[in-house]
Amino acid sequence: MTEPPGTEPPVPAPVLNATGLTRRYGSLTAVDDVSLRLTAGARHALIGPNGAGKTTLLGLVAGTERPDRGRIELNGTDVTRKRPARRSALGIGRSFQQPHAVDGATVLDNVVLALWRHHPQRSAAWRRPVRRRRLADAARAHLDAVGLAGTDRLPAGALSHGQRRLLDLACALAAQPRLLLLDEPAAGLTDEDIGRLLDVLGALPPDVAVLLVEHHTEVVARLTGTATVLASGREVVAGPTAEVLRHPEVRRVYLGTSPSEEDGEPGTRDDDAVRKDG
């Protein structure tokens, strides 16, 4: 049966609708009039050279940075002036360039804490042994999902760098985010860890939107469907990831190819050169 005109189901608001975001530090405009729109399940990359404004833009979305101009909506709610904790409660999860785990606490307790922070009844969640066990079981499931099964009793500080990044990811996922912000998750990881990261991120619930800052172009190509390239705070190009990565302007500002290389001569830098730490 066709719906009568005017009764179509409402189109859901995008998970993230950021418009005209600008952030200045003194005379430097770190993010300059950038807009982003992510629907549920979007996998979007933010790429660009060092200092392009990518982390600042993630901070604006997460609320750790305040915009000088622009507006941010999460699932249709204006959060432009809301604090990070409020945005987190509204469904933003974030993993950072530097892992945020508490080194002295066990791996398990780090995830339990992340779960507890987002528990609807925080004090009740802690009160009874059966509830604490439930939290611990849920935390173990998150650790299994990121490939850290068996590490739960270790202090987080005993993990390798790659494992700590995966622990960070488990903590971010414990909040069951609707928008996951990932800041260079592959930085400093071994090829084996990157393989695991790709598996974990590839298995995220399909309705979670992901905004990924990453210098590793293979990870970007494998994980994301769309991308925005920033340079000097401004959007250079945006669109399907495969097209964006082939765009001549992107190759110039991001991969560092010279005009002669664009004419077909081999460059001195390959894709690995875009790794910040590479």
Ligand X SMILES: Nc1ncnc2c1ncn2[C@@H]1O[C@H](COP(=O)(O)OP(=O)(O)OP(=O)(O)O)[C@@H](O)[C@H]1O
What is the rounded CA–CA span in Å between residue 197 and residue 203? 10
> Phi, psi at residue 207, to the nearest 5°?
-90, -5
Min CB(231)–ligand X separation in Å = 9
Residues 6+ apart with CB under 8 A from 143: 107, 108, 111, 149, 151, 152, 167, 170
What is the rounded CA–CA span in Å between residue 162 and residue 192? 9
Min CB(269)–ligand X separation in Å = 16
Q: Is the CB of 56 or the CB of 226 nearer to ligand X?
A: 56
Min CB(110)–ligand X separation in Å = 24
13: left (phi over 0), alpha (psi -120 to 50) or beta: beta
What is the rounded CA–CA span in Å between residue 272 and residue 278? 7
- DSSP state, residue 215: S
Q: Is the CB of 44 or the CB of 54 nearer to ligand X?
A: 54
Residue 38 and residue 211 in contact, taking contact as beta carbons nearer than 8 Å: yes
C-beta neighbour count of 74 within 10 angstroms: 24
Strands (E), 75-204: 77-78, 92-95, 179-183
Q: Is the CB of 55 or the CB of 88 nearer to ligand X?
A: 55
Min CB(56)–ligand X separation in Å = 3
Q: Is the CB of 18 or the CB of 30 nearer to ligand X?
A: 30
Q: Is the CB of 154 or the CB of 255 nearer to ligand X?
A: 255
Beta bridge partners of 230: 235
Min CB(251)–ligand X separation in Å = 17
Q: Is the CB of 2 or the CB of 50 nearer to ligand X?
A: 50
Min CB(247)–ligand X separation in Å = 18
Q: Is the CB of 152 or the CB of 214 nearer to ligand X?
A: 214
Min CB(144)–ligand X separation in Å = 31
Q: Is the CB of 51 or the CB of 155 nearer to ligand X?
A: 51
Min CB(53)–ligand X separation in Å = 4
> Phi, psi at residue 196, to the nearest 5°?
-65, -45
Strands (E), the chain: 16-25, 28-38, 43-47, 69-74, 77-78, 92-95, 179-183, 209-213, 226-231, 234-240
Interface residue list for ligand X (CB under 6 A): 25, 28, 30, 48, 50-56, 276
